[in-house]
Amino acid sequence: MTKQQNLDNQASLSAPIEDLQVRIAFLDDLVEQLNEQVIRQHAEIADLKKQMQFLYQRVESADLSEGIEAFDPLSNIPPHY
């Protein structure tokens, strides 16, 4: 094998390897971005859970027995009917 053929063979093998290295670099970046998004969503979900717990506690602690009248659709007809 001549020196030129050896260089051609190395070049033909290095191009696909470089393409794979570039793809791996982009995939690593994508995985990192997705991981950061999952972390942000996890924090947002945790915050929303805390807010829901707070609202449930407020509803449970409120005395609604006196302030809200039972709704009867037959006797409480809206004025536009």
The residue among 1 and 6 whose pLDDT is bigger is 6
End-to-end alpha carbon distance in the chain: 98
* pLDDT tens digits, one per residue of 2-44: 666 666 677 677 888 899 999 999 999 999 999 999 999 999 9
Please write down the HEC assignment for all residues of 24-78.
HHHHHHHHHHHHHHHHHHHHHHHHHHHHHHHHHHHHHHCCCCCCCCCCCCCCCCC
pTM: 0.56
